[in-house]
Amino acid sequence: MFLLQDLLQDFEARIANWSAAPKIADVIVKKGPFLKLYTTYIREFSAVNYHFEDCCTKFPKFAKLVKDFEKREACRNLKLQHFMLKPVQRLPQYKLLLEDYLRHLPHDSLDFDDTTIALRIVSDAAEHANNTIRQGDKFRRMLQLQSRLGDYFELIRPGRDLIKEGELQKVSRKGVGPRYFILLSDCLLYTTYSGSWSGSDTTSLRVSYQIPLSTLTVRLPPQLQTTDNEIATELHLTSPVRSFCIRAQSIRERNAWLDALNTAIEDHNSRKATFFTNDTQRIECRMGLAPPIWVPDRRVSMCQQCTVEFTVLIRRHHCRACGQVVCSTCSSNKAPLRYLDFDSARVCDTCFEAIEKGKKTKFFENMNFDAKSIFFFLL
């Protein structure tokens, strides 16, 4: 509201003094950075509008109050929701007006350069709002998927984005069967339906395999001498966790999955490469043999495990085993470290798994033959 009042006052003053300064775009250039304030309103508009309609239905007194307000002369017989929609439409309207204004400006106009800058500022603000809406839509979809997965898998984690989802046919030696795949920014979830009907968007899902993108390879099947046209819609996925063949409904759908998978793998690996550390040093540090060299806070803007950006709420933590800077989600475990006389200290998830694996290996190495035989017999 205050932004609109300031813009209106500046525009009115400029129009009144047009003969002395025939330009207006510099006003938008000056106020432009504040246009991103519209993003919060746009992001919450759908939820607020739904809540508004719900209140009108549930509370007759509130509905009457709204109708009485809409009867005012200032409303011009328009619904209150019409005015609620105005801020959502404002950024696109600013962009269209500036494009039209620039199209009719001569290149030697005093306002040409400022108009070009103003158009870029407004376009950036509109794109920022659109990106926020898309992120909000993705998050709501992830909430729906989390509900389908239940408490058996933590889908929503800092830094994790939903990229693509859908049903594909898993090809096996005995035939084909529907599976539901969820492509995230760090892994691919191979899920099966818990219910008997696979067509519902509310059918419960069970995670069969979580495949890290860092270990996943995607390729087209070899061109075999066969009359089976369905091979043209297949993809081969290979990883240490699980390797399998999937079949799409069409070549177009297969290509969409192929592009999404390859792009996600490339993006994930490029983010991970930013935090590459010498393997020998990491192995020594992970096992807690010696104090690690801590990565300075100022050199890292995101978690070195999941790549979530650090904020006021998402704080930095150092792994006491390898020295990396990680978020709280990726360092929720403690492990005994030798250089601390085996006192437990916060470690990242990767180091925790390595330490636990090392403890199990040492346990078996210390067992004599008879004890091992009894142990495996009991298993």
Q: Name the amino acid, one letter, at 131.
A: N
Average pLDDT over residues 275-286: 47
Paired with 167 in beta bridges are 180
Class of domain 157-273: mainly beta
pLDDT for the residue numbered 4: 67
Handedness of CA 265, 271, 277, 282 (dihedral sign): negative
**Phi, psi for 238 (deg, rounded to 5):** -125, 135
Class of domain 2-140: mainly alpha
Does the pLDDT of residue 229 top 50, yes or no? Answer: yes
112-116, 157-161, 225-229: least confident range: 225-229
- Per DSSP, the residues of 62-105 read HHHHHHHHHTSGGGTT--HHHHHHHHHHHHHHHHHHHHHHHHTS
pLDDT for the residue numbered 366: 53
pLDDT band per the 50, 70, 90 thresholds, residue 275: low
Per-residue tokens: 48: 């607020």
Question: Hey, where are the domains in the chain?
Answer: 2-140, 157-273, 279-365
pLDDT for the residue numbered 274: 58
Handedness of CA 127, 130, 135, 141 (dihedral sign): negative
Nearest to 160 by CA among 133, 180, 141, 179: 141
**Phi, psi for 97 (deg, rounded to 5):** -65, -45
Q: Name the amino acid, one letter, at 303.
A: C
DSSP annotation of 276 reads -
Per-residue tokens: 211: 């495949």
Q: What kind of fold does domain 279-365 have according to CATH?
A: Herpes Virus-1 (3.30.40)
pLDDT band per the 50, 70, 90 thresholds, residue 187: very high
Does the pLDDT of residue 279 top 50, yes or no? Answer: no
Average pLDDT over residues 38-56: 80
| Residue 46 near residue 78, CB atoms below 8 Å | no
**Three-class DSSP labels, 213-242:** HHHCEEECCCCCCCCCHHHHHEEEEECCCC
pLDDT band per the 50, 70, 90 thresholds, residue 24: confident
Does the pLDDT of residue 155 top 50, yes or no? Answer: yes
How many other CB atoms are there within 10 angstroms of residue 208's CB atom?
13
Exposure string of 152-171, with b = 16+ CB inside 10 Å and e = fewer, is eeebeebbbebbbbeebbbb
Does the pLDDT of residue 183 top 90, yes or no? Answer: yes
What is the tens place of the pLDDT at every residue in 302-345? 888 888 888 877 889 999 888 889 998 899 999 888 888 888 99
Alpha-carbon gap, residue 43 to 23, rounded angstroms: 33
Alpha-carbon gap, residue 18 to 150, rounded angstroms: 64
| Residue 221 near residue 236, CB atoms below 8 Å | yes
Verdict on whether the full-model pTM lies above 0.75: no
Average pLDDT over residues 214-243: 79
Could you identify the residue written with the tokens 């819609």?
233
Average pLDDT, the chain: 81
Question: Rounded to the nearest 10 degrees, how much is the dihedral formed by the CA atoms of 294, 299, 303, 307?
Answer: -140
pLDDT for the residue numbered 256: 95
User: Does residue 178 come out as left (phi exceeding 0), alpha (psi in the -120 to 50 range) or beta?
Assistant: beta
Alpha-carbon gap, residue 105 to 214, rounded angstroms: 52
Alpha-carbon gap, residue 352 to 251, rounded angstroms: 43
